[in-house]
């Protein structure tokens, strides 16, 4: 894939700009995530400690209030008064109660039926099991529960029953004080229990346990009975006994907690004062008075207490804020398939919903720390945990926040960085595009010029290559002709040598006598014939030499033209700059080769000029010899007696024949040198053609490079 130069510049600029930003952003995210997690962890730990301290303060105040209340004279005196009144209850109210017994007990059973209908997870015979067997308990429940004009959950509003009994008189004096106490401090109930019989002598709320015995009555196995027995077994003043968060049938099986302390009268234990807490802890401390956001807990932060059975001890924030969303989430949990309906009906998850997690286990085992875990709804949270102990009971205190919310700031930072990278990338692309245009446009113009010049140079070089090839072919043809001329010259030399030898023979015969005149005449005829042939061959040689001279002239002109082309190519190479350096070297070599070719042609012209001079001399000598032979023949015919003249003439012929032989040998040597020069010229022409071909290849490579660079722009 070939990318244009502008595109490459844009991509390079984008990478140069974006990569450092990404590196810095990644490092910033890494640092920020660490700092953010540290801040979240610190906040959760601080919230945990504040909650722990608030719970500690709450329990300390509770202990002090309970002990102070148990030590008040009105509480101590009420035990004696209520016991005396209950003992005389049958006397005070028995006849009146029995007078309409069926109606009275019917009214009470109707209240029990209401209790059964509104209590979760109770057996069908609950009314029979709850029904008090003690007559005094039934009379008290009739006047203070069944006949109480206030609704079922507001029975505490009745200060006294208008029955004229002594019990009601004592109740009228104590009840406003006790009711005011729980309303002020938001406790659920205050209960006074007789130490000997376990009877509930008094309660603010008047639940169905009112008047019954915690030792022999229907609730003798309840959590209230248990805390009563623990306190009854204690001989320590102000000792605190606690039963945590268990379902209690008189409160519609709602999970409640009881705190108890013994009541002493002059060192004698006379009763037990019990405080019912209900979900008071969650309202006051654990849910921050429902001001989570104001306390820096965001949308999901909460504090949760978990008991030793891994059941929630305080209410879920989501259940308080959005019960429907809580129930829907609970429905989706396989572990909560059997309890979600109970939670939905009761409106509470306390004592019902379980939370199994390492953080809970660690806290229940006395450890403190912070961990990433899943909460009771399976959501990923950060949890700061710590054990919380009160009156021998240990809970796991956990302050949590959803991980998604805890790191929402990091997500916002991540989004901001992405937006910043996109904006910067857009700016970089635009600026890079402008910059690329300022660079690529001049380059494109230069490349077009280089491409056009290289195309023209390629065409010129192709023409030079064609001419060089033609020149090489011409030189090859001349070399062939010169080879043939060399062979002919050798033959002429041999013939001239033979003629010289013949002349010597004729001279010898002439000296022998006149009787050989006729044979001499025949020899002269033969000599004339051979001299004529030599003259003809010399004339032909003269014509061929003239042709060679023309060819060498053409070679000289071609060398000059090649030199001019090489000079032009050198100029174009200089204009091409760095891309033309290689071609400049080739043009220099071509110019040198052209100059060498010119010098070789000039040498050949010099040799040819000498050959022409020698040939002309030979022609003249041959013509002179021919005339002499004819004259000798005429003389021989005219006078046979002129042997001396013939002898002298033959001497002259012999001398001329030797000269001819010498000249022809020189001509043969000159032809051989011409052949050698032509071979050198042939080799030079081939090298020149090869050099031009290489130059053509270099120009083609230059043109290809220019086209590629043009494609990049």
Over residues 661-680, the mean pLDDT reads: 71
Eight-state DSSP code of residue 577: G
Find, among 692, 676, 679, 670, the residue nearest to 558 by Cα: 692
- Which of 116-125, 650-659, 668-677 has maximum average pLDDT? 116-125
- Kindly state the tokens that stand for 146: 């069944």
SS3 at position 266: coil
469 phi/psi in degrees, rounded to 5: -65, -40
Where residue 710 falls among pLDDT bands split at 50, 70, 90? low
Over residues 667-692, the mean pLDDT reads: 70
CA 68 to CA 190: how far, in whole Å?
A: 13
Q: Is the pLDDT of residue 301 over 60?
A: yes
Q: Is the pLDDT of residue 103 over 60?
A: yes
Where residue 458 falls among pLDDT bands split at 50, 70, 90? low
Burial of 31 (0-12, 13-18, 19+ CB in 10 A): exposed
Q: What is the tens place of the pLDDT at every residue in 501-542?
A: 766 776 676 577 656 657 766 776 776 777 677 667 767 877
Min mean pLDDT across 32-41, 47-56, 437-446 is at: 437-446
Report pLDDT for 49.
94
Report pLDDT for 258.
95
Which tops the pLDDT comparison, 559 or 193?
A: 193
Find, among 107, 146, 131, the residue nearest to 219 by Cα: 131
CA 503 to CA 651: how far, in whole Å?
A: 8
CA 470 to CA 459: how far, in whole Å?
A: 17
CA 584 to CA 600: how far, in whole Å?
A: 24
Which tops the pLDDT comparison, 379 or 502?
A: 379
Where residue 687 falls among pLDDT bands split at 50, 70, 90? confident
Eight-state DSSP code of residue 192: E
Report pLDDT for 397.
94
Min mean pLDDT across 17-31, 200-214, 283-297, 584-598 is at: 17-31
Q: What are the residues whose beta carbons fall under 8 Å from the beta carbon of 57, sequence distance 6 or more? A: none
Which tops the pLDDT comparison, 614 or 348?
A: 348
Where residue 446 falls among pLDDT bands split at 50, 70, 90? low
CA 539 to CA 528: how far, in whole Å?
A: 16
Where residue 36 falls among pLDDT bands split at 50, 70, 90? low
Over residues 457-471, the mean pLDDT reads: 69
Q: Is the pLDDT of residue 280 over 80?
A: no
CA triple 154-159-164, angle to 5 deg: 130
Q: Is the pLDDT of residue 327 over 80?
A: yes
The β-bridge relationship of strands 254-265 and 380-390 is unpaired
55 near 388, Cβ under 8 Å?
yes
β-bridge mates for residue 383, sequence order: 371, 400
- Kindly state the tokens that stand for 387: 């054990």
Report pLDDT for 418.
75
Report pLDDT for 569.
72
Q: Is the pLDDT of residue 708 over 80?
A: no
CA 551 to CA 547: how far, in whole Å?
A: 6
Segment holding 493, helix H or strand E: helix 408-512
Report pLDDT for 263.
97
Alpha helices in 71-88 (DSSP H): 73-87
Report pLDDT for 524.
66
Q: CB neighbours (10 Å) of residue 600?
A: 21
Please state whether the predicted TM-score (pTM) of the whole model is above 0.75: no
Share of the chain above pLDDT 70, in %: 75
CA 632 to CA 656: how far, in whole Å?
A: 14
Where residue 624 falls among pLDDT bands split at 50, 70, 90? confident
274 phi/psi in degrees, rounded to 5: -115, 135
Eight-state DSSP code of residue 294: T
Where residue 314 falls among pLDDT bands split at 50, 70, 90? confident
| pLDDT, averaged across the chain | 81
Report pLDDT for 384.
96
CA 79 to CA 263: how far, in whole Å?
A: 9
SS3 at position 391: coil
111 near 151, Cβ under 8 Å?
no
Which tops the pLDDT comparison, 586 or 168?
A: 168
Report pLDDT for 27.
58
Over residues 203-218, the mean pLDDT reads: 96
Over residues 212-217, the mean pLDDT reads: 96
Find, among 65, 110, 612, 49, the residue nearest to 384 by Cα: 49
Report pLDDT for 693.
73
Q: What is the tens place of the pLDDT at every residue in 539-582?
A: 787 777 777 777 777 777 776 777 787 777 777 777 777 776 77
Where residue 680 falls among pLDDT bands split at 50, 70, 90? confident
CA 571 to CA 569: how far, in whole Å?
A: 5
Where residue 172 falls among pLDDT bands split at 50, 70, 90? very high
CA 407 to CA 33: how far, in whole Å?
A: 8
Report pLDDT for 417.
64
Which tops the pLDDT comparison, 96 or 632?
A: 96
Report pLDDT for 365.
95
């Amino acid at each position: 894939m070939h990318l244009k130069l502008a595109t490459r510049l844009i991509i390079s600029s984008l990478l140069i700009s974006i990569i450092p930003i990404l590196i810095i952003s990644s490092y910033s995210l890494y640092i920020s995530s660490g700092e953010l997690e540290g801040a979240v962890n610190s906040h959760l730990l601080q919230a945990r400690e504040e909650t722990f301290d608030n719970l500690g303060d709450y329990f300390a105040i509770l202990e002090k209030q309970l002990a102070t209340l148990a030590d008040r004279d009105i509480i101590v005196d009420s035990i004696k008064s209520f016991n005396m009144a209950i003992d005389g209850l049958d006397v005070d109210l028995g006849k009146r109660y029995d007078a309409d017994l069926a109606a009275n007990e019917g009214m009470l059973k109707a209240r029990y039926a209401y209790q059964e209908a509104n209590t979760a997870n109770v057996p069908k015979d609950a009314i029979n099991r709850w029904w008090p067997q003690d007559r005094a308990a039934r009379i008290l429940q009739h006047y203070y529960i069944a006949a109480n004009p206030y609704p079922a959950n507001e029975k505490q509003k009745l200060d006294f029953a208008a029955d004229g009994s002594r019990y009601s008189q004592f109740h009228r004096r104590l009840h406003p004080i006790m009711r005011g106490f729980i309303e002020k401090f938001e406790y659920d109930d205050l209960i006074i229990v007789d130490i000997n019989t376990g009877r509930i002598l008094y309660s603010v709320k008047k639940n169905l346990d009112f008047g019954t015995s915690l030792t022999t009555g229907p609730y003798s196995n309840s959590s209230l009975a248990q805390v009563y027995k623990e306190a009854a077994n204690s001989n320590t003043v102000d000792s605190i006994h606690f039963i945590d968060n268990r379902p209690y049938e008189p409160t519609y099986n709602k999970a409640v907690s009881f705190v108890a302390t013994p009541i002493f009268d002059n060192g004698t234990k006379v009763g037990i004062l019990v405080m019912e807490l209900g979900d008071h802890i969650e309202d006051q401390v654990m849910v921050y008075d429902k001001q989570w956001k104001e306390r820096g807990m965001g949308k999901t932060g909460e504090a949760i207490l978990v008991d030793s059975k891994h059941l929630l001890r305080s209410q879920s924030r989501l259940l308080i804020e959005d019960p429907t969303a809580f129930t829907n989430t609970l429905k989706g949990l396989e572990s909560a398939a059997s309890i979600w309906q109970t939670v939905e009906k009761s409106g509470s998850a306390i004592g019902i919903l379980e939370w199994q997690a390492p953080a809970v286990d660690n806290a229940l085992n006395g450890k403190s720390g912070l961990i990433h875990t899943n909460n009771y709804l399976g959501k990923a949270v950060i949890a700061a945990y710590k054990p919380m102990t009160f009156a021998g009971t240990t809970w796991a205190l956990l302050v949590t926040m959803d991980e998604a919310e805890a790191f929402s700031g990091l997500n916002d930072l991540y989004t901001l960085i992405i937006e910043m990278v996109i904006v910067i990338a857009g700016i970089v692309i635009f600026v890079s595009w402008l910059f690329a245009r300022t660079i690529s446009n001049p380059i494109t113009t230069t490349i077009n010029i280089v491409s056009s010049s290289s195309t023209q140079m390629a065409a010129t070089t192709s023409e030079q290559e064609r001419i060089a090839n033609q020149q090489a072919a011409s030189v090859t043809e001349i070399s062939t002709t010169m080879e043939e001329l060399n062979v002919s010259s050798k033959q002429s030399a041999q013939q001239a040598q033979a003629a010289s030898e013949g002349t010597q023979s004729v001279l010898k015969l002439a000296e022998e006598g006149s009787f050989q005149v006729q044979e001499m005449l025949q020899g002269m005829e033969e000599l004339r014939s051979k001299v004529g042939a030599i003259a003809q061959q010399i004339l032909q040689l003269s014509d061929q030499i003239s042709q060679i001279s023309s060819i060498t002239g053409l070679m000289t002109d071609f060398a000059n033209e090649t030199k001019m082309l090489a000079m032009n190519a050198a100029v174009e190479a200089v204009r091409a700059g760095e891309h033309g350096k290689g071609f400049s070297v080739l043009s220099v070599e071509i110019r040198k080769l052209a100059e060498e070719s010119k010098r070789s042609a000039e040498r050949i012209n010099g040799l040819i000029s000498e050959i022409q001079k020698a040939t002309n001399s030979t022609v003249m000598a041959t013509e002179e010899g021919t005339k002499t032979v004819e004259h000798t023949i005429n003389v021989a015919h005219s006078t046979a007696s002129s042997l001396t003249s013939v002898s002298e003439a033959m001497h002259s012929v012999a001398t001329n024949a030797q000269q001819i032989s010498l000249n022809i040998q020189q001509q043969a040597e000159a032809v051989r040198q011409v052949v050698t020069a032509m071979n050198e010229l042939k080799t030079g022409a081939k090298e020149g053609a090869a050099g031009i071909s290489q130059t053509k290849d270099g120009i083609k490579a230059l043109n290809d490079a220019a086209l590629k660079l043009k494609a990049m722009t």
